[in-house]
Chain A
Amino acid sequence: MAAGLALLGVPVWILTRPAPSAPPPASAPIEPEKTAIYEVLLTASAPARLAVRAANQPTVESAGTATSLTACFTMNAAEPEDLAVFGNFDPAAGNSALRVEVRLAGRTLADATFWGTGLVEDVIAIPKP
């Protein structure tokens, strides 16, 4: 096989070298034993496009309009990131509510409700353990 590729002019070492490792992330990696999985539950008073975001992690969004969204984030247990939450309601729905609950191992750590018309967005801080 290698001889065949060599005959075709493909340097074998290109195909057999180990794949380059990804560059290290900008922030120091979190040691696995210091992380925790935070469950975030968004509940909307009317159908809305829902989203939740934590720093350095992909945004979790509802597929379309929905009245609830659940997301899980693995974060530093000693200092979890704040969560930005968004509920994009139909302005015709009038004053709308977006409730956010953050749970760790079934225990509620934060629970807040944000109100507004159209785009309801805010930040929820997770208390340190």
Chain B
Amino acid sequence: MQGFFAIDLHDRGEAISTLMNRLILATVFLAWTTFAQAEPLRVASLSTVMADLARDIGAGRVEVTEIVKPGVDPHIYEPTPGDRKTIARSQILLASGLGFEGYLDKLRPSLEKAGVRLVVGGDVVKPIEAACEGHEDHAHSHGSTDPHWWHSISNVQAVAAQICEAFVTADPAGRAAYEANAKILQTRLAALSKWVRLQLAALPKANRVLVTSHDALGYFAKENGFEIFAVQGISTSDQPSSQKVQRLIEEIKARKVKAIFAENIENPKVLEQITNETGAKPGGVLYADGLGNGAASTYDGMMKSNVSTIVEALK
């Protein structure tokens, strides 16, 4: 009887030992797979709007680094050596394109060398021509295409699909998560589009004139039936001639424009001068070149802030 127990205990000890070994192996395997899944897809972004879309689509599987941050003027930004290192360490680089990042062509060879996939939003949108009035006195860095495509929600929907596809290609294991997140985002963008239409329906068509610092809201204007008068050209680095400012003042007076809008990263001095001379009131601040801070730190927030500001000032 004692022997029986001794053998039984011995067998039990062996079984426990085997079980422990298996448990340790399982724990190690689980830890390894967890670590492998936890290693996020590294994404760098030159666009604050695309960074926001990437965060929504990537959620926990993607680490997004904003190279150009909200509130920075992207027209005059140049990547620092530190930015170049961050970009080289990433797997995907997001850029607006259509000439918005003047330095992008210079970056391309180093991206290829580092194996960084470049995703350019401008490649999948329907570009519009930039209004180049006032550029007769100098050359400027943009082509004739307006690069501010994110002011059209349908363009943003196309770019969201493009980002989702890039993530799936780079990380096929995350396909289900990326596609589910992208679907939620597309639904939200459709709701935002309807919200914009409902808000603008309260604004008489005769009042749909936007006077802004620089010509960045062309896509918004085209989609929603606005006319645009911009002090500067398509870039914030374009400076208006005094003749152009005078013509603009006459136009604003003749059209009885109610309000003039500043931008979050502009020097509003010229606009202040025009406001004083025309009697039009300052309409508030618009986010033209990307996201802002606070409520405007998301794409939804930025669009809602811009539309509310415009409707409130012009109705």
Interface size on A, residues (CB 8 A): 16
A82 contact set on B, CB distance < 8 A = 197, 200-201, 205
Q: Looking across the interface, which residue of chain A has its beta carbon closest to that of B255?
A: A28
Q: For the complex, is B258 an interface residue (Cβ under 8 Å from A)?
A: yes
Q: Looking across the interface, which residue of chain A has its beta carbon closest to that of B205?
A: A79
CA distance A92 to B198 in the complex (A): 25
Among B200, B206, B207, B256, max chain A CB count under 10 A is at B206
Q: Would B201 and A79 count as touching, CB distance under 8 A?
A: no
Q: Which of A26-64 contact B (CB under 8 A)?
A: 26-28, 53-56
Q: For the complex, is A111 an interface residue (Cβ under 8 Å from B)?
A: no
How many B residues touch the partner, as a band? 10 to 19
Q: Which of B66-119 contact A (CB under 8 A)?
A: none
Q: Would B205 and A122 count as touching, CB distance under 8 A?
A: no
Q: Would A123 and B207 count as touching, CB distance under 8 A?
A: no
Known: A122-B194, A122-B197. A27 touches B206 (CB 8 A): yes
B204 contact set on A, CB distance < 8 A = 27, 55-56, 81
Q: For the complex, is B176 an interface residue (Cβ under 8 Å from A)?
A: no
Q: For the complex, is B202 an interface residue (Cβ under 8 Å from A)?
A: yes
B194 contact set on A, CB distance < 8 A = 121-123
Instruction: Write the nearest CB–CB distance from B302 to chain A, whole angstroms.
Output: 21
Instruction: Write the nearest CB–CB distance from A76 to chain B, whole angstroms.
Output: 8
CA distance A122 to B195 in the complex (A): 8
- Chain A: residues with CB nearer than 8 A to chain B? 26-28, 53-56, 76, 79, 81-84, 121-123
Q: Could you pull out 18 A-B pairs where Cβ atoms are within 8 angstroms?
A: A26-B258, A27-B204, A27-B206, A28-B206, A53-B201, A53-B202, A55-B201, A55-B203, A55-B204, A55-B315, A76-B205, A79-B205, A81-B201, A81-B204, A122-B194, A122-B197, A122-B198, A123-B198
